[in-house]
Amino acid sequence: MNILYDILGVPFGYVMRFIYNLVQNYGVAIILFTLFSKLLLFPINYKTQKSSAKMQKLNPKLKALRKKYEKEPQKLQEAQMALYQEEGVNPGASCLPMFLQFFLLFGILAVVYKPLTHVLGYSGDVIDNVVNLVKDQFPEIASKFKAGDLREELYVMEAFKENSSLFNVAGFDNSVVKNFLDNFTFLGIDLGKTPNIKDFSNIGLWCIPFISGILQLAMTFYTQIVNKKKNPDQPNMGCMNIMLYGMPIFSIWFAFNVPAGVGFYWACSSLVSFLIQIGLNNYFTPARVDKICEKDNAKNRAKYANGKKSFSQRMMEAQNQAAAAAGINSSRDADTESMSKKERTEYESQRIKEARKRMAEKYGEDYSDDE
């Protein structure tokens, strides 16, 4: 998993290094880097929100189809696919954007967790040497190290502040690191320090985890209220709600166990995400969604006017062909509706045998009803 952080962290690292060299303050650089990352992800967020808005518009029609074909799941699936095709909606359109967004987060977090690599540009060998030094010379800090932990560089910085004179490592410029740590602040808050819930000496440092958690919780509340308003029939998600509301609380605890720079990034990211979510929800009004659907439908009709089939149509045809090859109709024959359960089972069993026999004849194989 760490290889994803290493690979994706490189391009984001160049961006963060450029921003830091421009502003010479790590806190301000995190804010600008957050804005950059959210700007990069905005097209994905827009597409996801657009797909969600179009799906919500179809909810009444989907609900009517579910009621109409309540006892005929195959017909329901076919009717839903036909509706998606007619309205130009891809029910899985939000999956890829969400995956890409999750994928890019590896690179963003790598930059936040590894400032010596991605901001100061130290090589892996130099980082390994200073990590080994910290493990040998700083037993209290060394106890925090765990296999695969991304926070090693933050622990190194913590040790450097404690006693920089011990850092006699080739390629590791103490004056550069000291200057970086002097600028590793925001409004006087040392972002290299780890907040302590029992220590009120620096109220700003102490508040960062709570600000981060509260912003995440506020976004969760807002999203739930908006979704409930748009989908009043949406069932209670039960255990999912516990996770949605529990994660922000967990993040508060976690932010008290990592340097404040990480919690500060989470707070900035949550705030910008919250504002973007509010903006997109206000943008996708019912009237605007109607216009978007009308425009997309026109494109969709032109795209498939020559008989070209959509992905959902091809999938449905492949499914029907597979069912036909197995001797099972996509919907029951009208004659079977009056059969008893036993008679229907025998009928379908006979159809399967006939299909197997046809397949055996097609491929020149022997077939017996006793098989």
Tens digit of each residue's pLDDT (9 = 90 or more) over 184-202: 788 888 777 778 787 777 7
Tens-digit pLDDT profile for residues 62-99: 788 878 777 777 777 777 777 776 766 666 655 665 66
> What is the rounded average pLDDT of the residues 249-276?
84
Which spans in 163-310 are helix H? Answer: 174-182, 203-230, 239-255, 260-283, 286-303
Cβ-based neighbours of 316, under 8 Å, separated by 6 or more: 77, 78, 81
Question: In 3D, which of 65, 71, 32, 62 has the Cα closest to residue 264?
Answer: 32
111 residue type, one letter: V
Which pLDDT score, from 0 to 100, does residue 32 have? 92
* HSE-CB for 41 with a 13 A CA cutoff: 27
For 230-238, what is the mean pLDDT? 60
**Nearest residue to 241 (alpha-carbon basis) of 223, 267, 215, 266:** 223
Return the bridge partners of 33, or none: none
Question: What would the two tokens of residue 204 be?
Answer: 């700003």
| Residue 186 three-state SS | strand
Q: Mean of the per-residue pLDDT values for the chain? A: 76
- Cα 182 from Cα 172, distance rounded (Å): 17
Instruction: Supply the pLDDT for residue 331.
Output: 47
Of 268, 220, 275, which Cα lies nearest the Cα of 244?
220
SS3 category, 190:
strand
Is residue 123 within 8 A of residue 24, CB to CB? The reply is: no
- State the pTM of this model: 0.67
- Report pLDDT for 121: 85
Q: What is the pLDDT of residues 12-24, one digit of tens each?
A: 888 888 998 898 8
Q: What is the pLDDT of residues 272-295, one digit of tens each?
A: 888 998 898 888 888 888 887 777
Is 70 exceeded by the pLDDT of residue 218?
A: yes
Question: What is the reported pLDDT for 314?
Answer: 59
Q: Is 365's pLDDT higher than 50? A: yes
Q: What is the mean pLDDT of residues 39-54?
A: 81
Cα 162 from Cα 143, distance rounded (Å): 15
Q: Provide, rounded to the nearest whole percent, the portion of the chain with pLDDT above 90.
A: 1
| Cα–Cα separations (whole angstroms), residue 290 to 46, 224, 304 | 16, 23, 21
Q: Which residues contact 290 (CB under 8 A, 6 or more apart)?
A: 57
